[in-house]
């Protein structure tokens, strides 16, 4: 129920949320639910078209208002709405609309929800491409996994994407970071003030019912939106190298691959004779995860933390992944499955867990403890609200202390404003 004088929040989304298609959208929905629990008045806007799996925000009491890029109609909209907090979902939305928010609602707290550092993910992708061009070895990628933060910085620092993304982080009053590794990278290497960053991982509550037992499960599972490049790359690595190694040891093994927006290049890999099944979108991801014995997430690049692995822990399904998949997810806790650096290690660990009930049960137990200690909504939700209220109360001082952000807003907003106005005028002349 919205309170009479509730805090007004405007969320500007890169897309309309599809929580059953991507972890990024799932995280946005968790944040929205946290706001709803406060009785806040929420409006969600996006310039994107509607996807086939979008959430029904209006059923939750959230207003949906489509907006346009490079159109002054947004100015009238936000002036009338007069939000107290504006949350940008992905840095491109801050680039597009940040200057308009500052001009028409200068006292609104500007918050960026990152999901992951896109510039880090893209830099790691380029490193993998370079490695694949340089070597025919499709087994050992240990040289790519978990390098020092300085190496990551040097990989990113000269890219246009990093300069855009880091600048957007500086321009905002607060940035929600899903990964503690990325927080340390930003603070230690890019020199962002730590008070601009708030750790807000995926937020879940562990299930109350016992997970499906070992003997009632079968097969391997991999899941993830095919539009997300790391997921597609993992499918290719499984198809060409990992899965044949598993089938050598378990000739009857079956792998079920689920993902939203399955392209023809993915369905072309479907081969029941090899036990390799491309299953398209899962209507209920937790249901298919609960039926599987092992989750495979052999990611060779990526950033942030992995929603599929959190789902696996919720379902009591051990996960075999790489250091990229496990990054920032478990802290000092034992991994709920296995972390491997080569295709052979992934296959051997997966087979061992699949066959050994005691080892499997131990991994399941590790996942349940990890969820309870690191991802509970009841801890991270209140911490987020507390941080937002603190920033609101100290906003003038926060902005004075962030001179770099103020300087970047001054220069960026002028150039973006003039470009947006030029595009709008051009579009008007074409109609």
Average pLDDT (44-59) is 92
Under DSSP, the state recorded for 241 is I
CA distance 284 to 6: 34
Binned at pLDDT 50, 70 and 90, residue 201 comes out as very high
The DSSP string of 272-286 is: GGGTEEEEE--S-HH
List pLDDT tens digits, range 248-304: 999 999 999 999 899 999 999 999 999 999 998 888 999 999 999 999 999 999 999
Cα 58–chain centre separation: 23
Q: Which tokens belong to 292?
A: 């599987």
Q: Which tokens belong to 77?
A: 């909209």
Position 53 pLDDT exceeds 90: no
Instruction: Note the pLDDT of residue 47.
Output: 97
Position 3 pLDDT exceeds 60: no
List pLDDT tens digits, range 118-129: 999 999 999 999
Within the chain, all domains assigned CATH 3.40.50.2000 are found at 8-119+150-203+378-430, 214-375
Instruction: Note the pLDDT of residue 1.
Output: 46
Position 27 pLDDT exceeds 90: yes
Measured at the CA of 30, the angle between CA 372 and CA 381, to 5 degrees, comes to 60
Closest CA to 184 of 230, 152, 145: 152
Instruction: Note the pLDDT of residue 206.
Output: 82
Instruction: Note the pLDDT of residue 20.
Output: 85
Average pLDDT (214-232) is 96
CA distance 169 to 123: 18
Instruction: Note the pLDDT of residue 80.
Output: 98
Q: Which of 399-419 are b and which e, b meaning 16 or more Cβ less than 10 Å from the residue's Cβ?
A: eeebeebeebbeebbeebeee
Burial class (CB in 10 A: 0-12, 13-18, 19+), 184: middle
Q: What string of H, E and C letters represents the secondary structure of 157-223? A: CCCHHHHHHHHHHHHCCEEEECCHHHHHHHHHCCCCCHHHEEECCCCECCCCCCCCCHHHCCCEEEE
Q: Which tokens belong to 141?
A: 């990628």
Instruction: Note the pLDDT of residue 425.
Output: 66
Q: Which residues, other chains included, contact 134 with Cβ-Cβ below 8 Å and sequence gap of 6+?
A: none
Position 17 pLDDT exceeds 60: yes
C-beta of residue 197 within 8 angstroms of C-beta of residue 387: no
Chain position carrying tokens 């340089």: 134
Position 113 pLDDT exceeds 60: yes
SS3 6: coil
User: Which comes out higher in pLDDT, residue 418 or 428?
Assistant: 428
Neighbours of 8 (CB within 10 A): 18
CATH architecture of the domain 8-119+150-203+378-430 equals 3-Layer(aba) Sandwich (3.40)
C-beta of residue 175 within 8 angstroms of C-beta of residue 169: yes
Instruction: Note the pLDDT of residue 413.
Output: 56
Instruction: Assign a CATH topology to domain 214-375.
Output: Rossmann fold (3.40.50)
C-beta of residue 192 within 8 angstroms of C-beta of residue 166: yes
Instruction: Note the pLDDT of residue 150.
Output: 95
What mean pLDDT value characterizes the chain? 94
Average pLDDT (87-95) is 97
Average pLDDT (81-97) is 97
Continuous H helices in 254-356:
264-267, 285-291, 307-314, 323-326, 343-355
Instruction: Note the pLDDT of residue 146.
Output: 73
Q: What is the reported pTM?
A: 0.93
C-beta of residue 13 within 8 angstroms of C-beta of residue 46: yes
Position 339 pLDDT exceeds 80: yes
Chain position carrying tokens 């990325």: 182
Of all residues in the chain, the percent with pLDDT exceeding 70 is 94
Under DSSP, the state recorded for 43 is E
Measured at the CA of 130, the angle between CA 127 and CA 132, to 5 degrees, comes to 110
Measured at the CA of 193, the angle between CA 187 and CA 198, to 5 degrees, comes to 80
48-62, 168-182, 408-422 — most confident range: 168-182
Of all residues in the chain, the percent with pLDDT exceeding 90 is 87
Instruction: Note the pLDDT of residue 283.
Output: 87
């Amino acid at each position: 129920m919205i309170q009479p004088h509730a805090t007004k929040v405007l969320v500007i989304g890169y897309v309309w949320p599809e929580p059953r298609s991507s972890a990024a959208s799932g995280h946005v929905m968790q944040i929205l639910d946290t706001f709803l629990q406060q009785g806040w008045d929420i409006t969600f806007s996006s310039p994107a078209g509607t996807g086939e799996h979008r959430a029904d925000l209006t059923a939750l009491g959230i207003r949906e208002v489509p907006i346009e890029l490079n159109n002054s109609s947004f100015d009238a909209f936000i002036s009338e709405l007069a939000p107290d907090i504006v949350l940008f979902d992905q840095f491109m939305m801050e680039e597009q609309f940040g200057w308009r928010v500052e001009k028409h609602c200068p006292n609104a707290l500007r918050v960026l929800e990152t999901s992951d550092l896109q510039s880090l993910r893209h830099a790691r992708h380029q490193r993998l491409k370079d490695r694949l061009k340089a070597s025919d070895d499709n087994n050992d990628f240990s040289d790519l996994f978990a390098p020092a933060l300085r190496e990551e910085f040097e990989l990113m620092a000269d890219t246009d994407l990093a300069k855009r993304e880091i600048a957007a982080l500086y321009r905002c009053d607060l940035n929600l970071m899903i990964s503690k590794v990325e927080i340390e990278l930003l603070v230690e290497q890019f020199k962002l003030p730590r008070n601009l960053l708030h750790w807000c991982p995926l937020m879940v509550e562990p299930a109350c019912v016992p997970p499906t037992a070992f003997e009632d499960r079968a097969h391997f599972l991999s899941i993830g939106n095919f539009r997300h490049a790391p997921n597609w790359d993992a499918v290719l690595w499984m198809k060409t190298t990992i899965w044949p190694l598993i089938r050598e040891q378990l000739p009857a093994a079956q792998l079920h691959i689920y993902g939203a927006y399955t392209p023809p290049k993915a369905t072309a890999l479907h081969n029941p004779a090899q036990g390799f099944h491309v299953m398209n979108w899962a209507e209920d991801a937790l249901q298919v995860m609960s039926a599987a014995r092992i989750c495979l997430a052999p990611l060779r690049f990526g950033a942030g933390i992995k929603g599929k692995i959190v789902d696996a822990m919720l379902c009591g399904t051990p996960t075999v992944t790489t250091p990229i998949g496990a990054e920032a997810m478990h802290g000092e806790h034992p991994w709920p499955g296995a972390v491997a650096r080569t295709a052979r290690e992934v296959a051997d660990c997966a087979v061992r867990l699949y066959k050994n009930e005691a080892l499997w049960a131990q991994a399941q137990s590790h996942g349940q403890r990890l969820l309870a200690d690191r991802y509970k909504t009841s801890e991270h939700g209140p911490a987020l609200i507390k941080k937002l209220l603190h920033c609101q109360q100290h906003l003038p001082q926060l902005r004075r202390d962030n001179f770099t952000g103020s300087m970047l807003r001054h220069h960026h907003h002028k150039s973006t404003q003039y470009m947006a106005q030029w595009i709008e005028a051009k579009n008007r002349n074409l109609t």
